[in-house]
Each structure stands twice: as C-alpha cells, then as structure tokens.
Structure 1
C-alpha cells in the first residue's frame, strides 16, 4: 500500500519530529523558509537519495506532528486520509 504525504508548509514550524520518525526517510527539512520564518518539513522530491514513492502510508509523521499539519493518503481500493485530528478521540 503506497502513501502520499501532504504537509501544510505555511503552518509547519520545522521541529523535525516527522523527519526523525519516518522509517523510509521520505521527509526532509526545507532549505527555504515559510512566511513566518520557519524552515518547514517537506515530502522528499524524487532524487537519487530520497523518493517520496517510498512512503508506506504508516502515518507516523502525521501522528507525531504537534501542529497537525501533515496528512497521509493511502491508496488502495479507496483513498484513506489520515490526520492526527481524526485519530484523537473527544469525550
């Protein structure tokens, strides 16, 4: 099952937790800052070293993100999108 990572780079503060937790190294910290001056995480562009197509859809990045700016879509028969906010249970 392949995954696709989407990161809201304007809201990301570049803490790097998602980079550290990704088992396939599909996320890096950008060399460009966003409008608020942070260097956000970004899904790796295709290159010899990093391939976003290596994403397994585990959603560990979305789960660990403290700012809830990462979504992971899983493509199987139907597209399933995982967000941290959808994983949190409210009482």
Structure 2
C-alpha cells in the first residue's frame, strides 16, 4: 500500500454502517469495524494507511460530521500525547477564530 497523503477519521458514534463510504473509496482503505457502536451498528473505520485525501467518503456519507478527511497527511510532522486516546498522535491546528490543537485520531483538543 502507498504512503498516506490523507487521513480519515470516522466518528463511530455517528456512523450507521451504511457502507456508502466504503463502496465509494477509490483506494479501498475503509472497512466495517468488528465491534458494534452504541446504536448497534458496525461503523466504518479507516485501515490506517493509504488514504489519498480525495474526500469522496466525506461527500458520500449521509451523516453530517461523521467523517473528517485531512489532506497533506504525509507532511504533518508534529505529534502530541492525546489526553483522551492516551497515545501519541499527529495533531491538527484548527483555526476557528484562534489556533486550536486537535488530536488527529479523535478530534479532541490537546492543550
């Protein structure tokens, strides 16, 4: 599999397992999770590598906010320890009036 130029975050709590994103992904890097979410669905999940950052999964998903796609992932050098995930992950600098550093795995703020 090729190096990841993008990264996909799928909020399991919002996914209903319709598989539209899985079918639409041109590089086939999405799959159904083994475990059920709190609503009893098997949510889609990212395999962890190979994303091109095209965003097709984002546009095909009927659930607003369930999928976030990051582009230029291969150029993100900064990492930090996420207090929620409890692991070191790459960080995203969101600019919503001020610079907020977010975990690129769960989208929770990192202070």
Q: TM-score, normalised by structure 2?
A: 0.60
Higher relative contact order by CA 8 Å / sep ≥ 6: 1 or 2?
1
Q: How far off its partner does 1:75 sit?
A: 1.5
Unaligned runs of 5+ in 1: 45-51, 82-91
Residue 37 of structure 2 corresponds to: 34
Q: Matches of 2:16 and 2:29 in 1, distance apart?
A: 18
Give the paired residue count.
74
More helix as a share of residues: 1
4+ long deviations beyond 4 Å = 76-79
Q: How far off its partner does 1:54 sit?
A: 1.1
Q: How far off its partner does 1:74 sit?
A: 0.5
Residue 58 of structure 2 corresponds to: 62
What is the SS of the residue equivalent to 1:61?
helix
* Structure with the greater alpha carbon radius of gyration: 2
**Is residue 53 of structure 1 aligned with residue 49 of structure 2?**
yes
Q: Matches of 2:11 and 2:49 in 1, distance apart?
A: 19
Q: TM-score, normalised by structure 1?
A: 0.72
